[in-house]
Structures are given as C-alpha cells and as structure tokens.
Amino acid sequence: MTLAIFGGTFDPVHLGHLSVAWEAAELLDAEVRLLPASVPPHRAAPVASAPQRAAILREALKGQSRLVLDTRELDRSGPSYTIDTLHELRAEQGDRPLVWLVGADAFAQLASWHRWRELFEVAHLGVLSRPGASAALPEELEHEVAGRRVVAAADLRGLPAGNVIELAVTPLEISATRIRGLLAAGRDPRYLLPAGLFNDSSLLAPYRA
C-alpha cells in the first residue's frame, strides 16, 4: 500500500486538513500520516506548542485508523526540513511508494524549500486542490514538474518516487489562520473543527485570548 505523508503546521488541525487527507487516502488507496512540523523553516512560529498541537491532532484523529499521527519532526530539534524527513522515511520503508501531500498553495512555493529538487528522488508529490490557490507555477518549478505529471493513481503504484499527481479534492475554504482569528476574538468555530476538540476546553486554550 502506498504511504502518503501530509506535513503542515496544523496550528490547529481543522476539517479542511482532515477532509483532504481522507480523500487523498481514498484516491491513492493509501495509508496517510499527518506529520506536524516543529519549527517550520518558512513561517512564523506556531501559536500552540508542539505538545499542544500533537494533543489536538490525537483528539482529532480518534475513531478511525486510516489517518495516523507521525510526531518524528516534533521529536527532533532544530528546523524541520521535509527532505530530511523523507530520507528517514525512505530508509524505513524500502521501495514502498511514498507520496508527499501538499496543498496547491504550498506547492506553488516548493522552489523555496531546502534542497527541493531532491524531493522528487525520494517521493512522489500529491498536490491537493485548494480554493484560492492559483494553478500557475513559477517557471523553474513548472520546468522541473512538466515531465513528471501523471493522472492516474495507478501510475504511482509500482514506482517509489519521482512523479507529480494532482488530487482534485472537495474544495473547503477553511484555514488555520481564520480559525485562530475566530478563537482569539472569542468566537466559536464549532463546525470548522472536529467536534471532539470542544469536549476538553484545554485543547483550544492556546488560541483563546
């Protein structure tokens, strides 16, 4: 079975993340790991600490076994580079197909990632459609990706790495930025987050004013 890995800050994880991760599992017939980053190299520090974000993810993933939490980046010190994580996973998984899942907005920035061209040597890239993300890519990224595009999930199965597949998932315009804003303003974003997060008031406390 293909192993797909969905990295992100997950500050906090929301129903947009869970829904697209689940659809990717279905489309790729894959096990999906959600892999939170500890110190994202590209952006401001998360509002919630690594243990707080992991606790939210654990609660969010309850009741199913297809999406699982992988805390390896939280357990490592220093910046989380995707390429290092992928090399580690490759060493563990042998020739199993690996797919790094990324939202279309994040994919458009790929050429700014550390050792980005090497990513294709270690994994496939699965690009999740996201409302508001432009389909146009910067020239050097388009150039790298052009010969790698495949349409069918079956085209990834026999190959460990190297291709790019667009995954047309149900568009959900939910972002963690908006959820943090609502919580900080004292509002209740109940149906944008997994219901279980509201059963324990300590889980979302880091985001409340």
To ligand ATP, the closest distance from the beta carbon of 38 in angstroms equals: 13
Among 5, 18, 20, 167, binds ligand ATP (CB under 6 A): 20
> Other C-beta atoms within 10 Å of 153: how many?
20
Among 16, 126, 189, 194, binds ligand ATP (CB under 6 A): 16
Within 75-134, which residues bind ligand ATP (CB under 6 A)? 102-103, 105-106, 128, 130
3-state helix, strand, coil in the chain (%, to 5): 40, 15, 40
Contact between residue 149 and residue 142 where contact means Cβ atoms under 8 Å apart: no
The residue nearest ligand ATP at its CB is: 103
Burial (Cβ within 10 Å: 0-12, 13-18, ≥19) of residue 86: buried
Taking the alpha carbons at both ends of the chain, their separation in whole angstroms is 44
Q: What CA–CA distance (Å, rounded) separates 196 from 94?
A: 36
Q: Quick one: which segment of 10-18, 61-69, 149-157, 159-167 binds ligand ATP (CB under 6 A)?
A: 10-18
Among 175, 189, 193, 194, binds ligand ATP (CB under 6 A): 175
Binding site for ligand ATP (CB under 6 A): 8-11, 16-17, 20, 102-103, 105-106, 128, 130, 172, 174-177
